[in-house]
Structure 1
Amino acid sequence: MPATFVLLPGAGSDSWYWHRVAPILEGSGHSVIAVDLPYGDDAAGQYEFADVVVDAVEDVEGSIVLVAQSMSAFTAAIVCQRGEVDVDLLVLLAPMLPAPGEAPGQWWETTGQPEAKRAFAVLEGRDPDAPDDLRALFFHDVPDDVTEEAFSQEEPVVSNTPFETVWQADAWPHVKTRVVAGRRDRLFPLDFMQRIVRERLGIAPEVIDTGHLAALARPGELAAMLERYASEL
């Protein structure tokens, strides 16, 4: 049965991030709403982001699959917690998987991400002390033409406000949740993601053979995973 996929981008990105996945889902008869979140707005935190998502889906009928990339896991958790949208399935892609009472800005240290990122750099033979190179960190497995298109766009402005928003919750919302992690993710290494997902949700992530940006690197494979999840509703 066709579903509506509501796609949220990661920090500093926008709906363009999903431009390779959306046509595949639509071609299979699904509806797609790729949401732009106001990352550059100093007046907008995670709860304001959640308002944007709720407004975007207010007229949707049928099954809703909410898909959140990286930091938008915080936004998605708030959307599900508030209950204004009947989310049938939450899919977290390479997520900053939040814990109740945590802000995105705290997440890095509370999870041990810097140490995990450094250890993976050493494992791959990269200099762990080198300054972050966006192409090497995020686009190492993305096709060259897609990478060039990404870097040809206007440089994003990202406010500190969404990083400072504390998720006011006591527990994970009661919504069916799946997590997808990249086998070659240099920002959130696989063993790190497996540990965080196990500790915080008690489940294991499904692995896709990509870096952090699966929707750009392997859109067909990711779309097939999303369609399979929707078919199981």
Structure 2
Amino acid sequence: MTTFALVPGAGSDTWYLGPLAAELTRRGHRAVPAELPCDDDTATLETYADAVVAAVGSDPGDLVVVAHSFGGFSAPLVCDRLAVRELVLVTAMVPAPGESASDWWEATGQGAARAAQDARDGRDPDDVVALFYHDVDEPVADEALRHERAQSATPFDQPWPRDAWPDVRTRYLLCREDKLFPAAFVRTMLARRLRGVVPEVVPGGHHPMLSHPVELAAALLR
């Protein structure tokens, strides 16, 4: 049995990870969505990593850490606290040493990539539902909006504290229909920041744990 520590993205809670956790549990594994103090202005990236450790416990056994979106900034810090067999990034941000999440967008060219995607799709840049939940059933999308939480700027403005990526096997799951982090953008970012990590393509937009939890669980277990 593997313990999957599920690290959410910005401004979200464990509800978003519920369908994926249920699928992993159904397949005989332990899935632990971590509740992060995203609305606490005193909480740092280290605080987030500590919250993941507190959720899984000090002896989780065979541990895989799964990071969604902004979780890419805090999940690698878990590797400094626990023995992690594998780190899986699900349409996640990949930080550089000393770079803040606030600076990441311009440094990686995400803004231009998203603007180009918006233009191709003919999408209003302010349409949050079309950006994040275009592939999610309407009742689920409505519930997701109700679960949105305020995200403190503190961890976003903090320079990433590691001097290199952890020496842990790393995988990246690229979501085929993601409008926030389009496929070409992700491939370029990985080529520059995690050389040797070839993205694995999975179905879904930016929240595949809501739209394709079965396929996402299968990809994690491959």
Q: Deviations over 1:36-89 (max 9, x none)?
A: 100100000111111111222234342101000000110011222x2x200100
Separation in 1 of the partners of 2:157 and 2:146? Answer: 29
Q: Deviations over 1:147-194 (max 9, x none)?
A: 1222334x4111110101111222111000000111111111110001
| Alignment match, 1:22 | 21
- Stretches of structure 2 that go unaligned for 5 or more consecutive residues are none
Asked if residue 223 in structure 1 is aligned to residue 217 in structure 2, the reply is yes
Instruction: Provide the secondary structure at the position in 2 that maps to 1:21.
Output: helix
Q: Is the 8 A contact 2:48 2:74 kept in 1?
A: yes
Moved over 3 A (4+): none
| Alignment match, 2:41 | 42
Q: How far apart are 1:15 and its partner, in Å? A: 0.7
Separation in 1 of the partners of 2:95 and 2:170? Answer: 13
Q: How far apart are 1:131 and its partner, in Å? A: 4.1
Q: Is the 8 A contact 1:4 1:65 kept in 2?
A: yes
Asked if residue 173 in structure 1 is aligned to residue 163 in structure 2, the reply is no
| Alignment match, 2:145 | 151
Q: Deviations over 1:130-154 (max 9, x none)?
A: 442210110000112211222334x
Asked if residue 141 in structure 1 is aligned to residue 135 in structure 2, the reply is yes
Separation in 2 of the partners of 1:61 and 1:137? Answer: 35
RMSD: 1.3
| Alignment match, 2:194 | 201
| Alignment match, 2:153 | 160
Separation in 2 of the partners of 1:168 and 1:159? Answer: 18
Amino acid at match of 2:169: K
Percent identical:
46
Q: How many residues align structurally?
A: 221
Separation in 2 of the partners of 1:132 and 1:176? Answer: 37
Which of 74, 87, 99 is residue 84 of structure 2 equivalent to? 87
TM-score normalised according to structure 1 size: 0.91
Q: Is the 8 A contact 1:45 1:164 kept in 2?
A: no
Amino acid at match of 2:113: A
Q: Is the 8 A contact 1:3 1:64 kept in 2?
A: yes
